[in-house]
Structure 1
Amino acid sequence: MSLTIEIPAQYGYVLGTVTALFFVNTYHSLLTGSYRKAAKIAYPNCYASAEQAAKEPAAFQFNCAQRAHANFIENLPPVIANILIAGIKFPVLSASLGAAWAVSRVLYARGYTRNGPKGRFIGAIHSIFGLAISILSVNTAYSLVKTLW
């Protein structure tokens, strides 16, 4: 038994959104690098020490930028997978939610680095977009599995 999956014509939007996420990652990397340079935190140190961050605002901002970037890359693989899966059935909606997730991750990083941990809430809506994409992905997977029954 085989299953044929048709990719909708609008799937290009899905691929465009996933591609854009790599640029968001680059933004995070550049942001973190600029704060690393300002804080004079040498490689291979991932973070400034707690003592440095308590004394030096630049070190604290670097830690915030680094954490925002780490949080982004922790969430990136499942979001990409879910966008690609959901896009099979819901190409425009999954691409739109993925784009909204990307924008909210930029806002999250900017808020976190400028205003500390409380500043990240400006982009925290990414959680809702991620959940919506996951639900669409589950729906798509269920639809495909259901055809096998």
Structure 2
Amino acid sequence: MTVIANVPISSDYGYVILVAGAFCFNLYTTGVSVGFQRRKHNIPYPDMGCGPYANKLELKDWTEFNNYQRAHYNYIESFGIVMTSLLVGGVFYPRLQAALGAAHLVGRILYTYGYQKSGPQSRYKGALLFYPGFLGMVGVLFYSGAKLAIGF
């Protein structure tokens, strides 16, 4: 066991690191899927789905591209909060935080797949799993901070 600032790091923290790595890989593959859509619909950078190239698409193609783009953006928007909660809260409760992170990741995968394939109305199945995992991780983060700061 390693001790950093009087906080022991359990070997169970390895589970947290594995889940964090899975998140990174999944975020990367989500971005790659947007790249495939760019090529499929001939939308070069810097057009982000609302520029001159995207405006030339038929509605069906424009919607498909933007569903992929938006699913990826949504992932990016929450990634910092998720990683901070997972990695910092996992120092104190590694197995719990890894389990909550894994639940969030599975929900995120379902959410992204639904969004990409059928639009925003199809993301809710993933959200049913992803939000409890997310809120749990944030709760563990705050509890861990309170425990460290005031001996809670």
The TM-score, its normalising length taken from structure 2, stands at 0.87
Identity %: 31
**How far apart are the structure 1 equivalents of 2:72 and 2:56?**
20
Segments of 4+ moved more than 2 angstroms: 48-53
- When structure 1 is superposed on structure 2, of 126-135 and 34-43 the one drifting more is 34-43
The within-5 A match list for 1:1-149 is: 3-48=5-50, 52=56, 55-125=58-128, 126-147=130-151
Aligned length: 145
Q: How far apart are 1:56 and its partner, in Å?
A: 3.4
- Residues 48 and 38 (structure 1 numbering): CA distance in 2 closer, same or farther, change over 3 Å? farther
Consecutive unaligned residues in structure 2, runs of 5 or more: none
Gapped runs of 5+ residues in structure 1? none
CA RMSD of aligned residues (A): 1.8
Task: Give distance in 1, aligned partners of 2:45 and 2:8.
Answer: 47
Q: Distance in 2 between matches of 1:9 and 1:73?
A: 29
